[in-house]
């Protein structure tokens, strides 16, 4: 599990697995450390959507989080993180929106404290694989810290790089269609 602790994937998965077996968890615990609500930005640029993604983490707002993701969203894992996440007996190199929602909802609902710094980086290029020429690829680095419980002295740190592909719809609303974990191992 050690490698898991260095990346966003790991923090999410570790919490998901650890809390699945924690039978004493109280879903109505008022002790979670939640910040005040801030309004999200209009999702009319790729950069605004990534800002909203960070805000969703900070506010544990699963609805805002899902608003940032396209219906055909895919999260691609590092090779060493490949595993059978959906239990069909086949190793998965990525997962889709349903598992992303499950893992993230679990973390938002159960972690004691979540801190995600602003993404670092400004690169934005046109996605050469999109025949419409509209999709953009943004590479960013991030630092996430997750405390599992109030008693957790040290957070589960996740630092790394991610490449996001975003696509606008006909109304000019941007969503993330692909998130590739590019973290150094």
Residues that bind Ca ion (CB under 5 A): 84, 86, 88, 90, 92
Q: Closer to Ca ion at the Cβ: 88 or 151?
A: 88
* Min CB(85)–Ca ion separation in Å: 6
> What is the nearest approach in angstroms of Ca ion to the Cβ of residue 161?
25
**Coil/strand/helix, residue 155:** coil
> Is residue 149 exposed (0-12), middle (13-18) or buried (19+ Cβ within 10 Å)?
middle
How do 69-76 and 94-96 pair as beta strands? antiparallel
Non-local (6+) Cβ contacts of 102 within 8 A are 16
**For Ca ion, which is the closer residue by CB, 92 or 115?**
92
Phi, psi of 94 (to 5 degrees): -155, 165
Q: How far is the CB of 84 from Ca ion (least distance, A)?
A: 4
The least CB distance from residue 159 to Ca ion, in Å, is 27
Give whichever of 27 and 87 is closer to Ca ion, judged by the CB atom: 87
Nearer to Ca ion, 64 or 77 (CB): 77
């Amino acid at each position: 599990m050690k490698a898991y602790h260095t990346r966003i994937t790991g923090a999410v998965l570790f919490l998901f697995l650890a809390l699945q077996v924690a039978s004493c968890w109280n879903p109505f615990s008022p002790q979670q450390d939640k910040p005040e609500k801030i309004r999200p930005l209009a999702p009319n640029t790729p950069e605004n959507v990534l800002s909203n993604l960070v805000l969703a983490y900070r506010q544990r707002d699963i609805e805002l989080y899902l608003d940032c993701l396209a219906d055909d969203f895919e999260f691609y894992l590092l090779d060493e993180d490949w595993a059978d996440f959906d239990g069909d007996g086949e190793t998965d190199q990525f997962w889709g929106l349903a598992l992303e929602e499950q893992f993230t909802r679990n973390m938002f609902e159960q972690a004691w404290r979540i801190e995600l710094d602003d993404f670092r980086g400004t690169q934005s290029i046109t996605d050469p694989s999109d025949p419409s020429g509209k999709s953009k690829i943004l590479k960013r680095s991030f630092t996430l810290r997750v405390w599992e419980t109030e008693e957790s002295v040290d957070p589960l740190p996740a630092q790394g790089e991610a490449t996001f592909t975003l696509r606008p719809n006909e109304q000019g609303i941007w969503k993330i269609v692909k998130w590739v974990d590019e973290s150094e191992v």
